[in-house]
């Protein structure tokens, strides 16, 4: 008698999938594709409009910046409540038992944010397409340029996982008592505070005792570096005796290291949702400039 493990029944077992994998599984009944393309403020591009014009077939658009976010917060694209997330994801036709593959049009940039959001909301079978839409197109993957079809809503239930997210109060406590290791993934110049922050009113510098691992160092030509390289880079930044927390500018690229750590080391990294926009903008919170 052959015993089949539950993990063997899952279409997705790791947080990253390749273009070849997606080509082989594109027509799987449980597969749902999600376009999470988003661009920094001031960039003359619109992810939603681009999705309407060109997308991987059957993909839906996930707007975490203006729609599926906490509309009561003054901070950009903060995580919504589990109830609101479930309501919006239901409108995208996604079910709890779906295998979700998220991609973006930059290669690897905003898709890990949506991967992380689904993880926070208790969804296990979710992954990011390595290389995103550019890699898919370069490999000759099918592209849909027709008008998007109407989506049949589903019923999604979110189960909030508090271990995957942290607020400024818990982070400050953890930095103060030494139980948290903060990993800042912004470029080194911003970490040092030697250049001004792009958002008005946000101070330059970093959190006390934070380490710097720029997210760009994990990527190469729009894809993640090899697992062995990722493992070495991340091992140098994490602390196995503390809760590892990733921070960036506004909670987007911090999710890149969270995904990379699970892919290469099977080690979770918590994300500080408010990131430097909140921390640097709150003059009651401590900052350090220089190394």
Residues noted as catalytic: 248
Q: Phi/psi at 139 (nearest 5 deg)?
A: -90, 5
3-state secondary structure of 24: helix
Q: Which residues pair with 100 in a beta bridge?
A: 32, 126
Measured in residues, the chain has a length of 291
> What whole-number distance in Å separates Cα of residue 53 and Cα of residue 58?
13
Residue 193, classified by CB atoms within 10 Å of its CB into exposed (0-12), middle (13-18) or buried (19+), is middle
| CB-CB contact of 246 with 183 (8 Å) | yes
> What whole-number distance in Å separates Cα of residue 225 and Cα of residue 1?
40
> What whole-number distance in Å separates Cα of residue 144 and Cα of residue 2?
41
> What whole-number distance in Å separates Cα of residue 16 and Cα of residue 265?
13
Residue 168, classified by CB atoms within 10 Å of its CB into exposed (0-12), middle (13-18) or buried (19+), is middle
Residues 6+ apart with CB under 8 A from 240: 267
| CB-CB contact of 59 with 35 (8 Å) | yes
| CB-CB contact of 127 with 12 (8 Å) | yes
């Amino acid at each position: 008698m052959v015993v089949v493990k539950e993990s063997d029944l899952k279409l997705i077992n790791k947080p990253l999938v390749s273009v070849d994998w997606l080509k082989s599984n594109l027509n799987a009944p449980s597969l749902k594709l999600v376009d999470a393309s988003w661009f920094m403020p001031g960039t003359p591009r619109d992810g939603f409009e681009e999705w309407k014009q060109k997308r991987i077939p059957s993909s839906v658009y996930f707007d975490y910046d203006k729609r599926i976010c906490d509309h009561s917060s003054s901070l950009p694209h903060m995580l919504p409540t589990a109830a609101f997330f479930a309501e919006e994801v239901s409108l995208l036709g996604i079910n709890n038992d779906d295998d979700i593959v998220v991609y973006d049009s930059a290669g690897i940039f905003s898709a890990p944010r949506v991967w992380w959001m689904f993880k926070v909301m208790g969804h296990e079978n979710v992954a990011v397409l390595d290389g995103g839409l550019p890699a898919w197109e370069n490999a000759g993957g099918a592209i849909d340029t027709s008008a998007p079809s109407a989506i049949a809503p589903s019923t999604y239930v979110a189960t909030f996982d508090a271990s995957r997210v942290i607020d400024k109060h818990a982070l400050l406590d953890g930095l103060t008592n030494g139980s948290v290791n903060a990993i800042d993934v912004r470029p080194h110049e911003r970490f040092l505070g030697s250049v001004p922050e792009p958002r008005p009113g946000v101070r330059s510098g970093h959190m006390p005792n934070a380490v710097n691992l720029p997210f760009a160092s994990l990527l190469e030509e729009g894809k993640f570096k090899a697992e062995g390289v990722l493992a070495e880079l991340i091992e140098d930044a994490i602390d196995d005796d503390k809760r590892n927390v990733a921070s960036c500018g506004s909670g987007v690229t911090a999710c890149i290291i969270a995904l990379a750590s699970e892919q290469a080391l099977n080690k979770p990294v918590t994300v500080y949702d408010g990131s430097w926009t909140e921390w640097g903008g709150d003059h009651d919170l401590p900052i350090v400039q220089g190394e």
